[in-house]
Structure 1
Amino acid sequence: MTHGMVLGRFLPPHAGHVYLCEFAHRWVDDLTIVISVRARDPISGSQRLAWMRELFPFDRVIRLSMENVKHPSEQPPSRAVLKASLEKVLTVRPDFVFASEPYGADLAQILGARFVSVDQARAVVPVSATCIRTDPFAHWQHIPRCVRPAFVKRVSILSADPTEAGALARALAEKLGTKWVPEWSGTPRDLNGDSPAGVDWTEVVRGQIASEEALARDADRVLICATDPLATTVWAQLLSGSCPQELHELARRRYDLTLLMTPDSSSDTAGVIYPLNAGVDFVGRCERALRAVGRPFVVVNGGWEERTAAALRAVEKLTPSHRARELR
């Protein structure tokens, strides 16, 4: 049985890494993928470990702390320390070391293995992790599906009328060629008959988050969400008079932009359960909450076409490099 090893930072994993590891997987009988991890890395080791294990479920994926060890790409490499560190985590000595960087030859020599160079010129997959971190949208096609949620720009829409929010989310997603996340619960009526009393608001948020994360993998650079957990905290206060602490914690999720829709007197909100003037109160509370957490937001008002145009302009500013290429 032949054993192989790939060592990398995977900051983040990209199509070049996938090609490298798939190549190695098909060369040897048993492959170990080692993730080099340091505390100062811009992406946590646990996140990279989860990504790589999802991408390569049939290979052994482990991480190696490099806090006191120089990476082979650093000169001069601490050969003895690196060898000892690798031998502690490797179950068997590799027969082959695969790499798309020149340091692979030194690494193979340290371990007494044969070096196999894979696309060092990056002719097969012209991308690097540095390029992706610098401008992920310019290299979106090279980011694996499971990694994309970490880079996708998330836009939420807050409105007293969920029907209108959903319509705007759908319209924006269609114009941008991406995914949108409907309001998971619809309205409090969907959860608890004709009364918001007794609604499990935490369950509402967990359902919304689950839907959002499932759809984020297939979004094209931007994900449009018809609501977000912060809106649920406001509704909980308005309709139930209180909000669980857990809900406040869930509402701290990252959104790159929020579109705050003012009430439209021409829209039909008969299906929404809230007291008289609660729509105006909802928007005011949302604005205060957004300012309190320091989240970027844009107030969207006017007629439907005006709202849609203003919202689209605001969202397009989140992906300038992508928009610039479209206009060429």
Structure 2
Amino acid sequence: MIYVWHLSNSVGSLCFVGAFIRGALCCKSSRTWFFVLSGYLMTYIMVNTYGYDSKGMGKFALNRFLRLYPAYMFVLFLSVTTIILMDGMIEIYKPAMFLPRSLHEIIENISMIYFSFSPITVEPRLSPPTWALTLELIYYCLICLGLSKTRKITLIWVALSVCYTLFTLYKGYGKEYRYAMMLSGSLPFSLGALLYHYKEGFLGLLKHLPSVLLNPWFAMTVFVLNTVSRVYIPGMWWLGFYTNLLVAVYIVLILSEKNIPGVSSRLDYKVGELSYHIYLLHWLVAAVIAGKLFGIEVFVVNHWVTALTLVATIFISVFISKVVDAPVNYLRKKVREG
């Protein structure tokens, strides 16, 4: 979803169809969806797999490190090599992508922890979307330390998150305060954690609904239609953002109980595994294809760039999965079982 949003200027030129695709795959909504899912899953594995003693926290931290950083190091290598070989063309295409010029910029890009309350504003970012991973890593740490350990603590967390959101709206702060700031991730993460603690109660309520409403495809269709409404209905952009937050909770709840009809568990797992690599790679691959194949040195995307970038990104992602993830996943399994 985020890939299409970032590289869909040309798709947007297709009038209604383009706007539908671009709206349906809005990265702001998909990021929120992922944060809700992460809040649920991280709380689940801390409570049920690792526990909150020092050993459990250490295993959780190591497992998260192995999931995120080996693949990222490979992407980082590709980014640095490509930036050097293309001699500034990458930066022209995507201004955030240039080589670090100081020690703290090197540390930020290696760690994916950008030292700013608004990490999206930090440059350089050798993989531009990693600003959101700063938020992800921070909330992983907080959940590991017990921020969602009990129902009571989680309810307080949700309440504080709602208060922050309402405060920014009341004060008229810009949208970045609810999307790109450190605290903007608090609400979706806390709602995902809340869903874990009250899952059985929510499922009890859903049992009284018609079965079609419990179909994952229906839930995702609601998510898409609600997002599209943000494009066409005046004033719906941020209202739709928060209604989609609730729809994301609804989708995660349903998917916690059943698989997506017609999608095998193996395919679902593989797509989930590759999505992280695609997320990290797509700007780099787009810049190379646009610059080398089409001579485009500014951010002007055409249909061929978008399509070829997708194919190339998937190919490289599969390669990373085979070469990097496969041995690392063996270590992750040992960590979980050890």
TM-score by length of 1: 0.25
Bigger helix share: 2
TM-score by length of 2: 0.24
User: Could you say which structure has the larger radius of gyration?
Assistant: 1
Q: Greater RCO between the two (CA within 8 Å, min separation 6)?
A: 2
